[in-house]
Amino acid sequence: EAKAAGKASWARFEPRMRHEVVNHARLGSELHNAIIRHELYLAYQPVFDLVTGRLACVEALVRWNHPTRGNVPPNDFIPVAERSGLIVPLGSWVLREACTQLAAWRAEYGDAAIGSINVNVAARQLRDPGFVDEVTAVLADTGLVPANLVLEVTESSVVDGRQVRDTLEALHGLGVRLALDDFGTGQSSLSLLRAFPVDVLKLDKSFVDGICDGEDRGRLAVAAAVSQLAEYLDLYAVAEGIETAEQAERLRRMGYRLGQGYHLAKPLPPGEVAVLMTRPATAPVAA
């Protein structure tokens, strides 16, 4: 109604860019209220051991159930939140919620529960001087130990100078593990591995998409090289965005021990993750 009319009138006399700016500004102010109005929630995408088929851990992914727009995808609102600085309170909420959920699973299922949870962290959060203290406080409040937490950072957010490196080193020193997300898509992958304490490489989905394409030797080569690199550097390699059984099998044979993707499981509500934790070990997912 009003929203549709507003959209149409913008479209009539405004260039597309202007429309986007306005839309983002509105989205930004709505996001501001989203936390207190309980419009945000987390979905948990399982990461599986590709050899045993067991659930290894989960990645927490934020969701926004907007009262009129419905579900807004993170790729639409995370960039807005990053530009406005709202990513800092939003990210704080995600961190606390994810750790609270893991603590609840561990309290309920004990040894059957997963041992760690992956949380995405934006560049702005890493630059916040209080971030290490915040992580420490959340772990203490939820009763988790640092080894229960894996923070996913992107290459572009860690090429950010001295302060970010100090932050990552402090977190790593506590025992929190660090994963390089979307690995292979950045500019400086190899030098980064020596400059920062990295524990996990997450091969970006774009390379997984290419591995079964006989014509695309380039992406196959990157996927294979990242697996080798992880092995030599004694890091975990995780393949993300696995959509077919064939991809899972190829990646497993390439040396990927861990994988996530719609073929294995979509991002799930907590109750469905609990079902996976309590089911008996099944045949290897990739076999």
Q: Which residues bind ligand C2E (CB under 6 A)?
A: 45, 61-62, 73-75, 78, 91, 94, 120-122, 152, 181-182, 240-243, 260-262, 267
Q: Is the dihedral of CA 207, 61, 85, 169 positive or negative?
A: negative
Q: Which is nearer to ligand C2E, 94 or 201 (CB)?
A: 94
Closest CA relative to residue 135, chosen from 157, 161, 168: 168
Q: Around 97, how many Cα atoms within 13 Å sit in the side-chain half-sphere?
A: 22
Task: Return the SS3 of 186.
Answer: coil
Does residue 167 touch Mg ion according to CB under 5 A?
no
Residue with Cβ nearer ligand C2E (10 or 249):
249
Report if residue 116 touches Mg ion, rule: CB under 5 A. Answer: no
Residue among 30 and 152 whose Cβ is closer to ligand C2E: 152
CB of 204: closest distance to Mg ion in angstroms? 6
Of 113, 131, 181, 203, the residue at the interface with Mg ion (CB under 5 A) is 181
Helix/strand number for the chain, H first, E second: 13, 9
The least CB distance from residue 161 to ligand C2E, in Å, is 19
Binds 267: which of ligand C2E, Mg ion, none (CB < 5-8 Å by kind): ligand C2E
C-beta of 73 vs 110, nearer to ligand C2E: 73
Note whether 155 binds Mg ion by CB under 5 A. Answer: no
Name the minimum Å distance from CB 201 to ligand C2E: 13
Of 159, 152, 215, 208, residue with least CA distance to 184: 208
Q: Which tokens sit at 224?
A: 């294979």
Q: Which is nearer to ligand C2E, 184 or 267 (CB)?
A: 267
How far apart are CB 11 and ligand C2E at their closest, in Å?
26
Nearer to Mg ion, 116 or 120 (CB): 120
One of 152, 180, 207, 238 touching Mg ion (CB under 5 A): 152
Residue 86: name the closest of 151, 40, 136, 149 by CA: 40
DSSP string, 74-129: HHHHHHHHHHHSTHHHHHHHHHHHHHHHHHHHHHHHGGGS-S-EEEE--HHHHHST
Mark the segment that binds Mg ion (CB under 5 A) among 11-19, 94-102, 149-157, 213-221: 149-157
* Comparison of 42 and 139: residue with beta carbon closer to ligand C2E: 42
152 contacts 121 by C-beta, under 8 angstroms: yes
Rounded-to-integer distance, Cα 88 and Cα 32, Å: 11
How far is the C-alpha of 248 from the C-alpha of 53, rounded, in Å?
A: 11
Closest CB 184 distance from ligand C2E, rounded Å: 12
Q: Count of residues binding Mg ion (CB under 5 A)?
A: 5
Provide the 3-class DSSP secondary structure of residue 173. helix
Asked if residue 120 binds Mg ion (CB under 5 A), the reply is yes
Task: Choose the contact partner of 210 out of ligand C2E, Mg ion, none; CB within 5 to 8 A by kind.
Answer: none
Instruction: Return the SS3 of 190.
Output: helix
Tokens of 192: 């980064």
- Interface with Mg ion, residue 84, by CB under 5 A: no
| Residue numbers at the binding site for Mg ion (CB under 5 A) | 120, 152, 181-182, 240
